[in-house]
Structure 1
C-alpha cells in the first residue's frame, strides 16, 4: 500500500531538494509563518506550491531560480507599514514579497503581516457565516 505524504512532508522534501539558499529561505519563511500563527494549516497545491492557510489561504511559498516568492492571497488589503511587499503590486488582490539570495528578512514585520492576514480571513469567514 502506497503511503501518501502529508503536505508538511512535501514541504520538508521541497526544502531538502532545493539544498541551497532557496531551501534555507523557504524554511525560514515557513518557520516565521508558524511562529506568527501556531494554528496555521500547511497545504500543497497547484502541483507543488507550499500554501499556508487559516480560515482561507494566507500565503504561498513559491521557489524560482532567482527568488523565493511569498504571495499573500489578500495582500492588497493588508497594512504593510515596513514596505515588505515588493512584487505583484499592481493587482487588486494579491501582493508578494520576492526574497533574493542574501536578502535580510524582517522577521517581526513578516509575522505581523501573517497575523493581519489571519485576522482578515477570520473576519471575512465570520461575516459570511452571519457572525460578524
Structure 2
C-alpha cells in the first residue's frame, strides 16, 4: 500500500536511511506484539510536516519520531512499566512518559522492546477496565 491507504508506510519511506529502517523494525515488532494496534500519523506542523507515528491500543502506546541524530520511541505511560532490560534512556524528567533514544549504529533489542509494547498494551487495557 502507499499514499492515502497507508500513510505510516509512506512516512517511513520518506524518512529513509537508518532512521526509516529503525522505524520499520519497531513497527514490525509493535504489530507482532499487539496485532490489534492502530497506527496513525499525528501532530503535523510546519516544523515537522511528516508528523509523528503514533501506535494506539486502548489509548496511546508509544510514538516514533525522528530527529537529525536519533530515532525516539516515547511510551505514553512508560513510568508505569517495568523495564528490566533498561531500554528507557530518556524522558526521566516527567512523571508519566519514558523514551528510548536510538542513534545510528544502535541496535533495537527486539525481545525487550516487544516486552515493553506488551506491558504498555496491558497497562492501557487495565486502565480502560478500571474506568
The 4+ residue runs of structure 1 with deviation greater than 2 A are none
C-alpha deviation, 1:19, in angstroms: 1.8
Matching residue within 56, 75, 80 for 2:78? 75
Q: Distance in 1 between matches of 2:80 and 2:16?
A: 34
1:5 aligned to 2:1? no
* Counterpart for residue 32 of structure 2: 35
Matching residue within 117, 128, 131 for 1:125? 128
C-alpha deviation, 1:17, in angstroms: 1.2
Correspondence list, 1:38-77, <5 A: 38-47=35-44, 48-77=51-80
Residues 10-39 of structure 1 show CA distances to partners (whole Å, capped at 9, x for unaligned) of 111111112210000110011111111111
Residues 48-105 of structure 1 show CA distances to partners (whole Å, capped at 9, x for unaligned) of 1110000000000011111110000000000000000001112100000001111011
1:106 aligned to 2:88? no
Correspondence list, 1:89-100, <5 A: 89-100=92-103
Q: TM-score, normalised by structure 1?
A: 0.90
* Counterpart for residue 19 of structure 1: 16
Structure 1 vs Structure 2 CA RMSD:
1.0
Q: Distance in 1 between matches of 2:33 and 2:111?
A: 9
- Structure 2 residues without counterparts, runs of 5 or longer: 45-50
* Counterpart for residue 48 of structure 2: none
Q: Distance in 2 between matches of 1:17 and 1:64?
A: 13
SS at match of 2:23: helix
